[in-house]
Homo-oligomer: A and B are copies of this chain.
Amino acid sequence: MAEKFVSERNLKFLLHDVFDVSSLTQFPYYEEHNKEIFDMVLETALKMGKDLLKPYLQEMDKNPPEYVDGQVKVHPAIKPFLKECGEGGWIGSNAPMESGGQQLPLTIAFACRFIFAAANYSAMVFPMLTDGAAHLIEAFGSEELKETYIPKMYAGQWQGTMALTEPQAGSSVGDITTVAEPTDEGYYKIRGQKIFISASDHDAVENVVHLMLARIKEAPPGIKGISLFVVPKYRPEQNGERVFNDVNIAGLYHKLGYRGSPITQMSMGENDDCRGWLVGEPNKGLAGMFQMMNEQRIDVGLGASGIASAAYYTSLEYAKERAQGRPLSAKDPAQPQVPLIEHPDVKRMLLYQRAIVEGSLGLLFQCARYADLEIGLSGEEKENYSLLLDLLTPVAKSYPAEMCILSVSQAIQVLGGYGYCDEFPVEQYFRDVRIHPIHEGTTGIQGQDLLGRKVRIKDGKAFTLFVEEVQKTIASANDIAELKPFGEALEKALETLQEVTKHLLSLAENESPEVFLADATLYLEFFGIISVAWQWLHQGLFIQKGLKDNPSGAEADFLHGKFYALRFFFAYELPRITGLAQRLTNSDGLTVEIKPDYFSD
């Protein structure tokens, strides 16, 4: 099996050359760090991926978690990995030092999550969820909650989860019915059911801490009556003991992929003894949860890109090793066959994957950069970066989530029949990666978030800032002869984006919300392609800078290869916006109009 699952060279190129992560150390928050530390973190993550995660990829898939005697049992590789995560400071790596974190830039944290996801997505979800849950307690919880929970969570001893979904409330989170009944003891009594909760019970930790949405008795209906609670599996008592908190696992889901991670149905308060502690203010739970959710959404993008990266390197190794067929212009059957990678159609499938994976990664690091600058800066600058991050979050979630399925599918195609069989992990990657358009808000939900909310916030300020960001990159590219044609192509695409957006916003004025948002999913795709083209052009500035130094050997191959991937994206992917723009400006309301009865046969 292919050893390689990510390109260290490319990660360093993105972190140092393109996004200049060391420049963040000018801000007090990051001043304790430097480039050497960043590289050390990265190299350690790579080593962990290689030693602790990748070797168990297929084994974890073939031996999914089991529910035995009221306890979920996960693969034995999870425990040492979580221990290492706890001891090495990997959980809460970007949290403030004062609460036990490492205060690393999110850019670095994202790079590490990408590495872990590429090595073994199911495994990386465990610490990532704990990280997000702890972050939420840190942001909104009382001092007592922080002291009780965060240290154990950062140490990898207690698992964190995000418990939103209920049987009757999937994408419609406002419809949750789990009840929290106030008591005089400072806690609430919780009763209800949750479904599809990741890492919600397992034997690699001592305890599980659910960050759970529930409705305080007699709260208003809908999203305005939702509160956030800490609901542990075992509640810590004053005397240091832990008492079972009446959080019961009703069953495990059997999934297409992502099988190493247990997803359960839970039932709280079957014996009227489930206690929850309020996090933040009553009825304001959704805003808090969304802070966590936004980071998790970008993690989804990282997860998808990571899996597609691993699939890419598997197919690349195969294409180099497997001899099959002969060049079209030299078909003499007496000559030996050539490696697959000699065939243009195979190179096309490899470039496709590279264009998707490295383009997505650029967009994800761009989001991290905005988040890091938001922390470092203040005033209007801070607010602007925050707006940019808000705008790009649904894009950075969905572009990789959707496109990496196609990317992994191309990896299968490179391997042909072998790609369909389990000797190679590409079939698993194809199953694993399919989760991403579903969890943390479906692609449909992301589209409505982008067009219905983000593009319009503050009178379209986030959108205007985005256009300016892209224009800055185009201006820089126009000074470099090799990039000028791509700068011009992106300029045209940006104009199309503005026209289409203007058209759609005019519908918001004149038509029903249904007609306005009918094709929001397509708008998201359209926006995603242009965003990734922008990121490729952005990378192009540094590719050309590198090539100016006349590199040789592996470094020259790397940069030339990247430039081909850039060219590929502009030649094969960017033209897709033309068809999408055609549809997006033809707002005939077709999908709004059609009656459900017309689907009868």
Residues in B whose Cβ lies below 8 Å from that of A326: 172
Flag if A588 contacts B571 (CB, 8 Å): yes
Flag if B348 contacts A521 (CB, 8 Å): yes
Which of A19-27, A85-93, A281-289, A414-422 is the interface stretch? A414-422
Whether A80 sits at the interface, judged by CB under 8 Å, is: no
Residues in B whose Cβ lies below 8 Å from that of A434: 409, 412, 420, 430
Q: Which of A256, A332, A582 has the most chain B CB within a 10 Å cutoff?
A: A256
| Complex interface bits, A433-476 against B, C-beta within 8 A gives 1, otherwise 0 | 01101110011100110001000000000000000000000000
Residue from B196, B222, B564 within 8 A of A333 (CB atoms): B222
Flag if B601 contacts A328 (CB, 8 Å): no
| Complex interface bits, A338-353 against B, C-beta within 8 A gives 1, otherwise 0 | 0101111111101100
* A389 CB to nearest chain B CB (Å): 25
Residue from B196, B256, B344 within 8 A of A427 (CB atoms): B256
Residues in B whose Cβ lies below 8 Å from that of A332: 222
Residues in B whose Cβ lies below 8 Å from that of A337: 168, 172, 175
**A329-368 with Cβ < 8 A to chain B:** 329, 331-334, 337, 339, 341-348, 350-351, 354
Whether A481 sits at the interface, judged by CB under 8 Å, is: no
Whether A223 sits at the interface, judged by CB under 8 Å, is: yes
Total copies of this chain within the assembly: 2
Residues in B whose Cβ lies below 8 Å from that of A575: 578-580, 582-583
Flag if B582 contacts A578 (CB, 8 Å): yes
Given A327-B514, A347-B594, check contact A601 B10 (CB 8 Å).
Answer: yes
Given A434-B412, A578-B582, A579-B579, check contact A594 B333 (CB 8 Å).
Answer: no
A169 to B175, CA, bound (A): 57
Flag if B431 contacts A600 (CB, 8 Å): no
Residues in B whose Cβ lies below 8 Å from that of A345: 444, 447-448, 517-518, 520-521, 591
Residue from B171, B409, B595 within 8 A of A325 (CB atoms): B171
Whether A268 sits at the interface, judged by CB under 8 Å, is: no
| Complex interface bits, A395-416 against B, C-beta within 8 A gives 1, otherwise 0 | 0000000000100010011001
Which of A139-147, A302-310, A555-563 is the interface stretch? A555-563
Q: How large is the interface on A (under 10, 10 to 19, 20 to 34, 35 or more residues)?
A: 35 or more
Whether A151 sits at the interface, judged by CB under 8 Å, is: no
Flag if A561 contacts B599 (CB, 8 Å): yes
Closest B residue to A568 by beta carbon equals B590
**A46-69 with Cβ < 8 A to chain B:** none
| Complex interface bits, A506-537 against B, C-beta within 8 A gives 1, otherwise 0 | 00000011100111111000000000000000
Residues in B whose Cβ lies below 8 Å from that of A172: 324-326, 337
Flag if B597 contacts A557 (CB, 8 Å): yes
Flag if A333 contacts B518 (CB, 8 Å): no
Flag if B576 contacts A590 (CB, 8 Å): no
Residues in B whose Cβ lies below 8 Å from that of A579: 575-579
Whether A170 sits at the interface, judged by CB under 8 Å, is: yes
Whether A217 sits at the interface, judged by CB under 8 Å, is: no
Residue from B431, B442, B571, B572 within 8 A of A413 (CB atoms): B442
* A260 CB to nearest chain B CB (Å): 14
A597 to B254, CA, bound (A): 42
Residues in B whose Cβ lies below 8 Å from that of A567: 588, 590
* A51 CB to nearest chain B CB (Å): 21
A343 to B416, CA, bound (A): 38
Residues in B whose Cβ lies below 8 Å from that of A331: 222
Given A171-B325, A221-B334, check contact A419 B447 (CB 8 Å).
Answer: no
Whether A320 sits at the interface, judged by CB under 8 Å, is: yes
Given A257-B420, A567-B590, A571-B583, 9 more A-B residue pairs with CB atoms under 8 Å apart are: A255-B421, A347-B592, A347-B599, A348-B521, A413-B438, A413-B444, A417-B438, A419-B438, A571-B590
Q: List 30 A-B contacts (CB under 8 A).
A: A168-B323, A171-B325, A172-B325, A175-B325, A255-B420, A255-B427, A256-B430, A319-B599, A327-B514, A339-B596, A341-B599, A343-B444, A344-B514, A344-B518, A345-B447, A345-B518, A345-B520, A347-B596, A348-B518, A348-B521, A409-B434, A413-B438, A413-B442, A567-B588, A568-B591, A571-B583, A575-B583, A576-B579, A578-B578, A578-B582
